Structure 1
Amino acid sequence: MRKVLIIGGGYAGFYAARGLEKRLRPDEAELTVVDPRPYLTYQPFLPEVAAGSVEARHAAVSLRRHLRRTRVVAGTVTEVHHARRAVTVRPVDGPEFELDYDVVVVTAGAVTRTFPIPGVAERAIGMKHVEEAVAIRDRLLTAFDRAAVLPPGPERRALLTTVFVGGGFSGVEGFGEVLSLGAALLGRYPELTADDVSFHLVEARDRILPEVTDRPGRWVVRELERRGGHVHLNAQVVSAVDGHVVLSTGESFDAGLVVWTAGNGANPVVRRHTDLPVDGQGLLVVRADLRVGTDAEPVPDAWAAGDDAAVPDLASDVPGARTVPNAQHAYRQGRLLARNIAAALRGEPTRSYSHRSLGAVATLGLGRGIFQYRRIVVTGPLAWLAHRGYHVLAIPGRERKLRVLAVWLTAAAFGRDIVSLASVEHPREAFTSAGRDG
């Protein structure tokens, strides 16, 4: 049997593994997925997890539950030695070890892009994983509880000031959802007023949501500001030491919560620790059929897709264009990986990847959203429903679809659950403090 090793269990890796299970007989290939997390994170739901509209576990799809014939290895690939068909794996516990393979599929995904800005590493939270979205929600809820017993003043305002850095889809959706949660919480805290709460979105460019055209982007800015948000365009964070956020425009404010969503960076394993060909941006060079290499110099037995692969965009009219790193492409590239790898193992021809965007849809909070397909733009409740409908169909597994629907229906009837579980970050605190008090 051929050993097929998939690095990364995100969209592309998950769908590649699931497709190979369906296309290959058990005696044709041995499948292995290596990922530090035993689940696929359904990232489009993270803004709603942060706002309490989706249960955290429902945004995580278990690899072991859905990949029945694939070995799942909990660990991080630190090096790829394709010349000798092996990778180095660092598990959570125990020493590093090597895994050999016949065919490698690199779908490790991108990492959060950060900059050496004072205070950011110590204060900011990303929003790329479920635990980060949960922490954002719990810290905001805890901040309201703490602020409610403080007198009006700088300390209360700082606790209730939230800053999102980055105006892409992740930042705008997270900002819109958390802004919606903050407005809902005010009705539960009579001690607090709207003047105590402040939400800021900081974007270095002159517009947000680059995936939509200028006019819908401007509408989103107006909509967020109408609801009390502060959108800072052409602004960068230059310092966040001790939560004191300073912008390049000269504005500054104390913030209890800083969320960093300023784009993705190349995966360090792909960028620096592989002998596979990498371009100037740290992305794997791949052909249109997702095989690593070029038409003139293909790399045998190596495939890649998703955020860490420079996949040619055959659907674009721009020469040399690459597919953008989003869930639409990663999902479809993963499925094509499975087809092409199975075809290559059997000596059959492969297909090139080509996909035209289905449009852009974003949630901006309960009942608010925006959808654009070419020149068609829909805003408000219809766009919000389109967002929910699309993603409940797209998340893998019928049980996940039903669980998410059940939470949405429950929230529609009874409202959001506003209980903070921030104490789970320190589960032994109650136990140890009881011993000290005794």
Structure 2
Amino acid sequence: MNKHILIVGGGYVGLYTALRLQRKLRRELRDGSVSVTIIDPQSYMTYQPFLPEAAAGNLSPRHVVAPLRRVLPKVRILNGRVTKVNHNDRTVTFQPPEGDEREVAYDIIVMAAGSISRTLPIPGLTDIGIGFKSIGEAIALRNRVLHLLDLAESTEDPEVRRRALTFVVVGAGFAGVEALAELEDMSKHSTRYYRNITRDDIRWVLVEATDRILPEVGPEMGRWTLEQLRERGVEVKLETRLESAVGGHVVLSDGTEFDSDTLVWTAGVKSTPIPSGGTLPLDERGRIKTTAKLTVDGVTDAYAAGDVAGVPDLTNPGEYTTPNAQHAVRQAKVLGDNIVRGLRGEKLAEYRHKYVGSVAGLGLHQGVANVYGVKLRGLPAWFMHRTYHLSRVPTLNRKVRVVVDWTLALFFKRETISLGEMEHPRDGFRAAAATTRR
């Protein structure tokens, strides 16, 4: 048979598809008749639902990622980017971190490159904006919030202090609300260690262009979440857009203006663009046109799933599955099985998923959930949120490490230390060298 399966992307779909193939094709992988390769810029898969807890210090950053080479010992991992797909020739152009790009041949391709932040041409957005999709962004944001608390404690300039203690989050979906809730909880908790900062000095602003937050949990639970955030002192601005952030001066569409050093952008995602020269069809949103069997529409030996794919929702005709982890993990199972079926000449199965609901964490001991029509809030929802996502974390190793982190947090206070110097490790050495030259 001698088939080479190439998976572009090592996120949810890439990892779980490879895990499925590793289990279903043990004999073929052992005798070399089938080989599997993953190409991804990182050597690990990030479990994104735990990014807010990592940012707040409830989980170690290392425990919310799964190392691909350890989890997938039968799979070849190439770190770098796919810059082009030529499915007619069954090749991709691979750009490693160092050195020249090269062609990688394949027999079957799985497009699982995920998504990137969808930004808008807003003046100054890149001046202070940061996304919230990677472990690097989450930890950098944590360090930034704690560093700005240190700055506010140490300055006597009221304008500098006010600017440092003002934090803005744009986008009120899961990523935005959970990130804000966890970081707001952490920042307010941290004030007990500062002499000149009170909880009321810290300002959190949530900006949302639509008329509600957390639409995934339904109107009732969304309204409850809105009330809870406002009771905690968060300024929630609905039907409001970010107009400008030049130099950190934030201007909103409702006329509000203020200065801030931190703006978290979570206002949507878009599929990762990978040119294919028309060999892989795209829809109007730039996603790969995909059938319910998770094959690329009209193309042989090509599969797609997750955020990069437009997968028809068979439970809601005319619509597409939403780009979230729940669908990605379940699609990967069907996709992996369909690849095996295709290799063995069997009939492919369709992806059909009944939506079970959603859960969201809102800080320590606070959450909201709408699962199978059962609506929970507060501590029960927070417990369900943790239990559900713990069950979805890949590998027993990571599950145990997460539980250990949570258990230790019951007995010890959370760490509130900024390690921002990690982002610029050579600054001290350069300063010392400059002093020596004098």
With the length of structure 1 as denominator, give the TM-score of the two structures: 0.96
Superposed displacement of residue 237, structure 1: 0.5
**1:13 counterpart = 2:11:** no
Secondary structure in 2 matching 1:269: coil
Gaps of 5+ in 2: none
Secondary structure in 1 matching 2:299: strand
Superposed displacement of residue 50, structure 1: 1.3
Superposed counterparts of 1:12-91, under 5 Å:
12-24=13-25, 25-26=28-29, 27-91=32-96
**CA–CA distance in 2 between the matches of 1:252 and 1:55?**
36
**CA–CA distance in 2 between the matches of 1:426 and 1:267?**
28
Pairing partner for 1:204 from 202, 209, 227: 209
**Residue 366 (structure 1) aligns with:** 364
Secondary structure in 1 matching 2:189: helix
**CA–CA distance in 1 between the matches of 2:50 and 2:22?**
26
Secondary structure in 1 matching 2:274: helix
Superposed counterparts of 1:205-220, under 5 Å:
205-220=210-225
Pairing partner for 1:167 from 169, 172, 175: 172
**Residue 303 (structure 2) aligns with:** 303
Partner deviation per Cα, 1:12-58 (whole Å, 9 max, x = no partner): 11111111111112133110000001110100011111111111111
**CA–CA distance in 2 between the matches of 1:40 and 1:188?**
35
**CA–CA distance in 2 between the matches of 1:396 and 1:55?**
16
**CA–CA distance in 2 between the matches of 1:244 and 1:328?**
37
Superposed displacement of residue 152, structure 1: 6.2
Secondary structure in 2 matching 1:223: helix
Matched AA of 2:386? R
Superposed displacement of residue 151, structure 1: 2.5
**Residue 248 (structure 1) aligns with:** 253
Contact 2:20-2:336 within 8 A present in 1 as well: yes
**Residue 157 (structure 1) aligns with:** 162
Superposed displacement of residue 266, structure 1: 2.4
**CA–CA distance in 2 between the matches of 1:274 and 1:44?**
34
**Residue 281 (structure 1) aligns with:** 285
CA, structure 1 residues 130+274, in 2 after alignment: closer, same or farther (shift >3 Å)? farther
**CA–CA distance in 2 between the matches of 1:434 and 1:236?**
45
Pairing partner for 1:101 from 102, 106, 109: 106
**CA–CA distance in 2 between the matches of 1:256 and 1:225?**
22
**Residue 195 (structure 1) aligns with:** 200
Contact 2:209-2:239 within 8 A present in 1 as well: yes
TM-align CA RMSD: 1.2
**CA–CA distance in 2 between the matches of 1:149 and 1:4?**
56
**CA–CA distance in 1 between the matches of 2:334 and 2:16?**
9
Moved more, 38-47 or 212-221: 212-221
**Residue 320 (structure 1) aligns with:** 318
Matched AA of 2:325? A
**Residue 225 (structure 1) aligns with:** 230
Secondary structure in 1 matching 2:216: coil
Gaps of 5+ in 1: none
Contact 1:80-1:274 within 8 A present in 2 as well: no
Superposed displacement of residue 274, structure 1: 5.0
**CA–CA distance in 2 between the matches of 1:274 and 1:341?**
23
**Residue 383 (structure 1) aligns with:** 381
Aligned length: 431
Matched AA of 2:291? R
**Residue 409 (structure 1) aligns with:** 407
**CA–CA distance in 1 between the matches of 2:212 and 2:278?**
36
Contact 2:357-2:373 within 8 A present in 1 as well: no
Matched AA of 2:313? D
Dislocated runs of 4+, deviation >3 Å: none
Contact 1:156-1:196 within 8 A present in 2 as well: no
Superposed displacement of residue 60, structure 1: 1.1
Matched AA of 1:306? G
Secondary structure in 2 matching 1:45: helix
CA, structure 1 residues 218+152, in 2 after alignment: closer, same or farther (shift >3 Å)? farther
Partner deviation per Cα, 1:315-369 (whole Å, 9 max, x = no partner): 22xx211110110110011111110001101101111001112210000000100
Percent of matched pairs sharing the same residue: 44
